[in-house]
Amino acid sequence: MAIGALGQTSFIESLDDAGNPTAEICNLHYDRARRNALQFFPFEFAVKRVALDESSEEPPAAWAYAYAWPTDCLRPLNIDTELQIDNIEQLVPFRVENAGSARVIYTDMDSAVLRYVFDCTDTLIWTEAFIDYLAIVMAARIAMPLTSNMDLSQKMEQLARLRGYAAVASSASNIQTGELPDAGVIRARE
């Protein structure tokens, strides 16, 4: 799809098509393009909750607990609580840092459960809007190596943003959050 979006007519059989320069360029960019596209928004098919494993790292004085970074985590969203989150003050604070050669999540929550965007590689559960978005993200990445056309590359980047917003709108329609909370100013007035 990405190759076709660039107006190319020489398609590839597979990313592993050895000796095919187009396949090699696509293979070089695919994993990073997928991970980048997944991080754009917490698409429903790429979000999960996991009970965090405690880290062997000692947390700094500002934090009570240190947890190991999940290996498939692309972007942490929040630490789950039993409370319904209706304002920013109820979010559980956390910080991600590197401790030696590993990422660590520091928080004050005991038995923390992290909700995060994971590196979803199962194409069967991707939405059509996400697939369209990822194809154009790939097209933007491979435009210069395949065509040497800077204008085409820039147009693909612009189109990728538009497709990204369309994918977000499609995904957001699958979320039911209930009644919107009043703003803090309104609550203070009451």
State pTM to two decimals. Answer: 0.82
Strand 102-107, strand 47-51: pairing = unpaired
pLDDT for 185: 60
pLDDT for 97: 94
Q: CA gyration radius for the chain?
A: 21
Residuewise pLDDT in 10s, the chain (190 residues)? 999 999 988 888 888 888 899 999 999 999 999 999 999 999 999 999 999 999 998 999 999 999 999 999 999 999 987 554 555 556 899 999 998 889 999 999 999 999 999 999 999 999 999 999 999 999 999 999 999 999 999 999 999 999 999 999 988 876 655 555 565 565 556 6
Query: How buried is residue 135: exposed, middle or buried, by Cβ count under 10 Å (0-12/13-18/19+)?
Result: buried
Q: Which residues contact 172 (CB under 8 A, 6 or more apart)?
A: none
Task: Give residue 182's Cα distance to chain centre.
Answer: 29
